[in-house]
Amino acid sequence: MALLIVTIFAAACLSASGFPQEPLSYRTTIFGDERLEDGPFEFLNTYNEVSSRDTNNPYRLPTTTKPENYKVNLVVNMTDLSFSGDVEIRLYATQWNVNEIIIHAHDMNITSLELKRDNNPIYQTYELQPQYHFLRVRLTSEPLAYNVSNRIIYTLAIKFEAELRSDMTGLYRNWYRNNATDDPSWMASTHLQATTARFVFPCYDEPSFKATFDMTITRPESFGSWFCTKRNDTRTSSIVGYKDDIYSTTPVMSTYLLAVIVAEYTSKTKEANNGDLLYEVIARPAAMEDNQGDYAFYFGQDLLEEMSRQTDIEFYSVNPNLKMTQAAIPDFSAGAMENWGLLVYREAYLMYHENHTDGFFKQRIAYILSHEIAHMWFGNLVTCDWWDNLWLNEGFARYYQYYLTDWVDPELGLATRFIPEQVHSALLTDSANNPHPLNNPGLGSPVEVRTMFTQISYNKGAAVIRMTEHLMGFNNHREGLRRYLREREFNTALPIHLFQALQDSAVETGAIAEYGSDFNIIDYYRTWSDQGGHPVLNVEVNHQTGEMTILQRRFNINSGYSTSNTNWIVPITFATASNPDFEDTKPSHIIKDSITRINRGSIGDEWVIFNKQQTGFYRVNYDDYTWDLIIMLLRGPNRTLVHEFNRAQIVNDVFQFARSGLMNYTRAFNILSFMKYETEYAPWAAAITGFNWVRNRFMGTPTESRLNALFIEWATPVMQRLTYYPRDDESFMTSYLRYQLAPVMCQLEVDECREAATQQFEELKINSTEVPVDSRNWVYCNALRKGVYEDFDFLWRRFISHPVNGEKIQIIMILGCTPDAIALNKFLDNIIEPDNFIIRRQDYTTAFNSAVSGNENNTQIVFQYIQDNLRNVSAALGTTTALSYISSRLRTYEAIKEFQEWADENQAALAADYQAVYNGAVSSSNAIEWAAAVQDDVNSYLTTGDSVVQPSTPAPEVTTSPVTTTVAPVVEPTTPTLPDSASSIFLSAFVISVAFVANCVL
Per-residue exposure over 740-759, b if at least 16 CB sit within 10 Å of its own CB, e if not:
bbbbbbbbbebeebbebbbe
Position 987 scores a pLDDT of 30
The answer to whether residue 284 sits within a structural domain is no
Angle ∠(138,140,141) on CA atoms, nearest 5:
135
Which H or E element spans position 539? strand 535-542
Host domain of residue 397? 32-53+389-529
Number of domains in the chain: 1
pLDDT at residue 959 in the model: 52
Strands 277-283 and 574-576: unpaired
Q: Is residue 430 part of a domain?
A: yes
State residue 37's pLDDT score: 86
Neighbours of 80 (CB within 10 A): 8
Q: Does any domain span residue 711?
A: no
Tell me the C-alpha distance between 171 and 262, whole Å: 10
Whether residue 705 is contained in a domain is answered as no
- Report which residue type is found at 894: E
Q: How far apart are CA 756 and CA 760, in angstroms?
A: 6
Contacts of 597 (CB under 8 A, 6+ apart): 547, 548, 549, 550, 964, 965, 966, 967, 998, 999
For residue 507, give the CATH number of its domain: 1.10.390.10
Question: Beta 100-104 vs 231-236: how paired, if at all?
Answer: unpaired
Would you say residue 403 lies in a domain?
yes
Distance CA 898, CA 910 (A): 16
- Residue 376 maps to a domain: no
Q: For residue 41, how many other CB atoms are within 10 A of its CB?
A: 22
Residue type, 969: P
Task: For residue 194, say if its preceding peptide bond is cis, omega within 30 degrees of 0.
Answer: yes
Q: Which residues of the chain, if any, have pLDDT below 50?
A: 1-15, 51-52, 965-1002
The residue among 589, 663, 598 whose CA lies nearest residue 631 is: 663
Predicted TM-score (pTM) of this structure: 0.92
Q: How far apart are CA 249 and CA 71, in angstroms?
A: 9
The confidence score (pLDDT) of residue 3 equals 34
CB 70, CB 79: distance < 8 Å: no
- Any idea what the Cα angle at residue 324 is, between residues 319 and 329, rounded to 5°? 140
Q: Find the length of the chain.
A: 1002
Q: Is residue 426 part of a domain?
A: yes
pLDDT attached to residue 49: 54
* Cα 567 to the center of its chain, rounded Å: 25
Catalytic (active-site) positions:
372
**Of 871, 862, 857, nearest in space to 906 by CA:** 871
Name residue 984's amino acid: S
pLDDT of the residue at 566: 86
Query: Does residue 537 contact residue 527 with C-beta atoms inside 8 Å?
Result: no
Is residue 569 domain-resident?
Answer: no
CA atoms within 13 A on the CB side of 209: 27
The DSSP output letter for 419 is: I
